Structure 1
Amino acid sequence: MLAYTGYLEKMRVTLTEQRNAQGAQSVDYSLQLGEAIVPLNSLIGTSIRLEFSTAIACTHCGRKTKKSFSQGYCYPCFQSLAQCDRCIMSPELCHFDQGTCREPDWGQSFCMTDHVVYLANSSGLKVGITRASQIPTRWIDQGAVAAIPFARVATRQQAGLLETALKQHVADKTNWRTMLKGEQAPIDLVLGRQELAQAVAEELTQLQDRFGLQALQLVDSPVVSITYPVQQYPEKITSLNADKNPDVVGLLQGIKGQYLVLDTGVINLRKYTGYEVTLHTGGETA
């Protein structure tokens, strides 16, 4: 048995050049525990154990905390950091231009930069936004089997305003249970992009009049198809809670989004960012 201990971070993902018969690119996963980076794809089909200690450290300042807020922050950071402001979840509420951003330097680098409004098939058709530099990571983290850019915009606020218009016609959330039950039925994302462009044409023109024609531009990039390392999807979704049961043991059957799929249930590792965890590997092979 091998053991790796450290404070948990979001799983690292890489979209490889390897494709399946349908042309979908595969995802490589690795688990970061402090300084240790553990490849995970090779562990699929073996038994693993995640042992959660009672220690939690803020991912921003390192302060020890009894409870994690907003996926990894201590309460003082949660209250003070711009990255924990409500406009992160609702980008259309960005107030950087009003001069009231908690951290103007951070806001300049994070929010006042190119963003992409996209369509994805995760648990059905959805709209989302991400920084241009986070493609395709954002799509993988949501468990999308296919995604396509809709528009490229100059700021996070503009992305949020366009997303708000699109949300009148399509969902903006992933149903994680549906996402983990198996591969989603194919969706014609190119056709969806065309139909949604027509549906929000008036709102898009209004946004271009407000921010400038070059600030919001529709794009015609191709669909990116993604396949995940899953040997078997669960017939019934059982969510594992490390706060209630800190000893998570099972046969690793696959990985999708930021979830580990075990024969004992599924666990969203991103929920436990900042927790001290020991990963035990080298169990029996299925």
Structure 2
Amino acid sequence: MEIQFLDELTCQFCGRKTKKFYGGNSACFSCFKNLPDNDICIIKPELCHFHEGTCRDGSFAEHHCMSTHIVYLALSSEIKVGITRKNNHIRRWIDQGAVQALPIMEVPTRKDAGDAETFLAQFIKDKTNWRKMLKNEVSDANLYQTRKELIGKLPKHFQQFVLPEMEIYHFNYPQIEVPDKIKSLSFNKEQAIRGRLIGVKAQYLLFDTGVFQVRKHTGYKVSVSI
């Protein structure tokens, strides 16, 4: 399989061609600077400034941020805490390469979720080790036990949002082989990605020559040949 970069970048928000992307969201400079999708609170929801009257787009915030969010545990390499909008949780867990996931809380806003995640991150990781995740090096930690321990640490004002214990979600991914070494493939380093496709996990295509993160290359015009 070969993925060839055709030397053309397109902003994923406005559709205009651009010479380079800004931030980490495949945006042209104008969209990076002005759109709510690229505000700091999208990456760090605990920094939400909606109620300060400085939100870039109130209607966006009402739909995206002032809505129910799930605080969860996911196991992809080790157990991590994360957040996602309600009804988007399955997609989010698959996107992270989780093999197991378990909700903890359901909160009314994205900021509440960010505050809860920031608090729990004192006791547990909030990032995935993507190399271990792609090599299927998964901890044998118990999600139920971890959930119970973390709930016991929550401040009183978060206790009202704790969900009843439910069954653990399990996920499998199509892989015919596990890479011996995790080499990152990118159009920032080479014009074309070539190799035998041996798996798909999270945001990655796994080749026998390395791994290619698809989302990172949103907005790149390519040709694909098999």
SS of the aligned residue for 1:227 comes to coil
Deviations 1:81-133 (A, max 9, x none): 11111111111111112221101001110000010000011120100000012
1:64 and 2:9 are equivalent in the alignment: no
1:263 and 2:181 are equivalent in the alignment: no
Unaligned stretches of 5+ in structure 1? 1-47, 282-286
Superposition deviation, residue 273 in structure 1: 0.5
Superposition deviation, residue 207 in structure 1: 4.5
SS of the aligned residue for 2:162 comes to strand
1:102 and 2:62 are equivalent in the alignment: no
8 Å Cα contact 2:68/2:85 also seen in 1: yes
Superposition deviation, residue 261 in structure 1: 0.6
Counterpart of 2:157 (choices 181, 202, 206) is 206
Superposition deviation, residue 221 in structure 1: 2.5
Equivalent residue number for residue 272 of structure 1: 217
Deviations 1:38-93 (A, max 9, x none): xxxxxxxxxx1111111111111011111123232111101111111111111111
Equivalent residue number for residue 168 of structure 2: 223
8 Å Cα contact 2:68/2:107 also seen in 1: yes
Equivalent residue number for residue 164 of structure 1: 118
| Cα distance in structure 2, aligned partners of 1:94 and 1:76 | 21
SS of the aligned residue for 2:126 comes to coil
Counterpart of 2:179 (choices 234, 244, 259) is 234
8 Å Cα contact 1:71/1:272 also seen in 2: no
1:249 and 2:202 are equivalent in the alignment: no
Deviates more, 1:60-69 or 1:108-117: 60-69
> How do 1:1-286 and structure 2 match up within 5 A?
48-69=1-22, 70-200=24-154, 203=155, 205-207=156-158, 213=160, 216-281=161-226
Unaligned stretches of 5+ in structure 2? none
SS of the aligned residue for 1:123 comes to coil
Deviations 1:21-51 (A, max 9, x none): xxxxxxxxxxxxxxxxxxxxxxxxxxx1111
RMSD: 1.3
Deviations 1:229-255 (A, max 9, x none): 011111111111212212111000001
The structure whose residues are more often strand, as a share, is 1
8 Å Cα contact 2:36/2:57 also seen in 1: yes
Superposition deviation, residue 257 in structure 1: 0.7
After superposing on structure 2, the runs of 4+ consecutive aligned residues of structure 1 that deviate more than 4 Å are none
| Cα distance in structure 2, aligned partners of 1:85 and 1:125 | 28
**What TM-score do the two structures reach when normalised by structure 2?**
0.95
Superposition deviation, residue 183 in structure 1: 4.7
8 Å Cα contact 1:56/1:274 also seen in 2: yes
Superposition deviation, residue 219 in structure 1: 3.5
Higher relative contact order (CA 8 A, sep 6+): 1
| Residue identity matched to 1:221 | M
**What TM-score do the two structures reach when normalised by structure 1?**
0.76
Deviations 1:156-182 (A, max 9, x none): 000000111100100000111111112
Number of matched residues? 225
Identity %: 45
8 Å Cα contact 1:119/1:147 also seen in 2: yes
